[in-house]
């Protein structure tokens, strides 16, 4: 019975893989654009949805939570913190920071394992 899911016993969240996926998504959406108040909603939604679809395509049995914050660059400070109550052997998180001339973007990915 257990031979059918051999990979389930040693599931670890691969943060590097997630980092690369998310970075590509951000660059695809924001790329060379300048901050535009009208389009920001579309951008954040697009970044988050694309990241999520790519993460799901990895095919691992995880629940994903993706949060994206896009802020105009004006010298103001931004702090984020997160604390999590989960199983540290299987669950993990990854944060990607990206910036260009006019804006800052922070994306958090949280992955919570599903036990089958």
Partner 1 sequence: MEKHSKPTKYAAPAGGKRRQHLHDKDSMKEKRKQSNAEALGIAPVEEESFMDLMKTELLTLKANRTKIRYANTYRLESYNKFQDYVVRNKAQEILTNKLQETKYDGVSSPSLCASISEEILMAIKELGYDRYKYVVSILIVEKAGQAINVASRWVWDVQRDTWVSAKCETETFIVLALVMACYYE
Which residues contribute to the site for partner 1 (CB under 8 A)? 1-3, 8-10, 35, 37, 40-41, 43-45, 47-49, 52, 55-56, 63-87, 89, 91, 108, 110, 112-115
Alpha-carbon dihedral 36, 41, 43, 49, rounded to 10 degrees: 180
Interior angle at CA 14, CA 56 and CA 28, nearest 5: 55
Which DSSP state fits 100?
A: -
Q: At what angle do helices 15-29 and 40-57 cross, to 10 degrees?
A: 150
Phi-psi region of 62 (alpha: psi -120 to 50; beta: other; left: phi over 0): beta
């Amino acid at each position: 019975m257990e031979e059918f899911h051999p990979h389930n016993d040693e599931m670890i969240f691969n943060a590097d893989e997630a980092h690369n996926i998310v970075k590509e998504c951000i660059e695809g959406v924001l790329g060379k654009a300048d901050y535009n108040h009208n389009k920001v909603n579309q951008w954040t939604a697009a970044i988050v949805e694309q990241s999520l679809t790519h993460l799901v395509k990895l095919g691992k049995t995880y629940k994903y939570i993706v949060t994206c914050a896009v802020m105009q660059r004006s010298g103001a400070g931004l702090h984020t913190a997160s604390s999590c109550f989960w199983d540290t052997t299987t669950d993990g998180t990854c944060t990607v920071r990206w910036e260009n001339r006019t804006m800052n973007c922070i994306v958090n990915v949280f992955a919570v394992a599903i036990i089958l």
